[in-house]
Structure 1
Amino acid sequence: MIERINLTDAFPAAYRQIRELRDTVEAAAESAGLDPKLLELVKIRASQINGCAFCLDLHIRDARRMGEDDRRLSLLAAWWETDLYTPQERAALALTEAVSKLSQVQDVPDEVYREATAHLTKEQYTAVVWSISVINAFNRLAVTSRKPLPARAPAS
């Protein structure tokens, strides 16, 4: 496999700004009362859709550190088929899929928007959409760069 230019290393000023944007969005999400685990589910689902191994590795690890259940993480790719997710999480996940697949769906369907705004306040909805947008940007940078997974210590 051909080695690619690491876009985050090649343009560190832009990478710093996208990280600052992420921090701003996460602060807004916290201020809006969103559960940080919900945001991790959003990041993981978008990363599944975009095929970003680096971001999946990172956010699944973060979700586990927050106490997220392994079963919910394992079944996230088929979230709509289970009752493991709250109505608010389901609304955020449907929104994640619509926003992450804009090139395919061309819009966020009205029913997805209605469900999201029924379970999220205006501030929460705004923070979720910004979070989806930021993780999609990170996914595109990592996938395009073929960013390698970080080394892990062997299990003991």
Structure 2
Amino acid sequence: MKTARLPWTDIAPKAFQAMAAVGVTTATSSLGLPLMELVKTRVSQLNGCAFCVDMHVRDLRKHGETWQRINSLVTWREADLYSPRERAALDWAESLTRLVEQHGSRDTEFTALQGQFSDQEIVELCWTIAQINAWNRVCVGMRAPVPDKDIA
């Protein structure tokens, strides 16, 4: 198993604790944990964060998500396994994650989002997407190791 580049949680514990506190706040979102975990998993896939993909897939399984939907998440646009609400959230997550690749207004994605979510939920979704992107960058940069353990 690869090891972390630095003991980053020990070197900057206040920053780590602040990020963890944001996670506690977003976990109480009205979006619901299963949807949030789908979004976190997809963003982590896009960013190539092995640690976060592993963690959020485990969380999806704990919430009863099927292997078929988890395995098809990378092809969610082609797989007819996701609700319109999930599709709007995944599209928004990809749009905000791929900022450099997708310059533009994002009006189409935002309009689709408004058809499925309240204003409160949209803002909570944005915070969830922002936070997982930040976690991905730290975990990739510090090479957070994927624990070697069985998955349900």
Tell me the TM-score normalised to structure 1 length: 0.90
Residue matched to 2:132: 135
Secondary structure, in 3 states, of the residue corresponding to 2:77? helix
Residue matched to 2:23: 22
Letter in 2 for 1:65: K
Aligned residues: 151
Letter in 1 for 2:16: Y
Query: Contact 1:102 / 1:108 at 8 angstroms: preserved in 2?
Result: no
* Deviation, structure 1 residue 35: 2.6
Secondary structure, in 3 states, of the residue corresponding to 1:102? coil
**C-alpha distance in 1, partners of 2:58/2:151?**
16
Q: Once the two structures are superposed, what CA deviation does each residue of 1:93-127 show, in whole Å capped at 9, x if it has no partner?
A: 00010011112213561100000111011111111
Letter in 1 for 2:93: T
Show the 5 A alignment for 1:2-21: 4-21=5-22
Residue matched to 1:84: 81
Query: Contact 2:58 / 2:151 at 8 angstroms: preserved in 1?
Result: no
Give 1 or 2: higher helix fraction: 1
Query: Contact 2:42 / 2:73 at 8 angstroms: preserved in 1?
Result: yes
**C-alpha distance in 2, partners of 1:137/1:154?**
25
- The two structures, once aligned, show a CA RMSD in angstroms of 2.0
Residue matched to 1:117: 114
4+ residue runs over 6 A deviation: none
Secondary structure, in 3 states, of the residue corresponding to 1:112? helix
- Change in Cα spacing, 1:53 to 1:118, as seen in structure 2 (3 Å) is same
**C-alpha distance in 2, partners of 1:9/1:64?**
30
**C-alpha distance in 1, partners of 2:110/2:7?**
36
Residue matched to 2:65: 68
Where does structure 1 lack aligned partners over 5 or more consecutive residues? none
Where does structure 2 lack aligned partners over 5 or more consecutive residues? none
**C-alpha distance in 2, partners of 1:107/1:146?**
32
* Deviation, structure 1 residue 149: 1.0
**C-alpha distance in 1, partners of 2:14/2:66?**
36
Letter in 2 for 1:75: S
> Percent identity, aligned pairs only?
37
- Asked if 1:36 corresponds to 2:33, the answer is yes
